[in-house]
Amino acid sequence: MEHHVTLSMEFMIKSHYELARTLAAERDAAMHASRVIGRLPDHGPDLGERETALELALDVMQSVAVYLNSLGDLEEAVADQLEIVLKDIPFAEGNE
C-alpha cells in the first residue's frame, strides 16, 4: 500500500512540476506585458488613440488575472490531491 502511495505522490509531483513550469511561463509573459504598459506615457503623440491604449491595458490586466486565477487553481489541485494522499497514509488517520 505504501508503495502505491509513493508512486502516486511521484506522479503528482511530476504533474505539479509541469504545471508550475507552465505557470512560470505565463507569469513571465504577464510581467513583461505589464512592464511595457507601465512604461507607456499617460498622454502624448506616441500613445495613439485613447481607446486603443485602454484596450491594450485591459488585455494586460486580463492576462495577469488569468495567471493569478491559474495559481489559485493549482493551489486547489495540490490541496485536493494532498488530502487524498494523507487519507491513504495510515499514521495520518490518528492525527485528524
Q: Which three cell numbers stand for residue 92?
A: 495520518
Contacts of 66 (CB under 8 A, 6+ apart): 26, 30
pLDDT digits over 19-65, tens only?
788 878 878 877 887 787 777 666 665 556 778 778 878 888 888 88
pLDDT digits over 60-90, tens only?
888 888 888 888 888 888 888 878 777 777 7
Rounded to the nearest angstrom, the gap between the alpha carbon of residue 16 and the centroid of all alpha carbons in its chain is 11
Distance, CA of 34 to CA of 27 (rounded, Å): 10
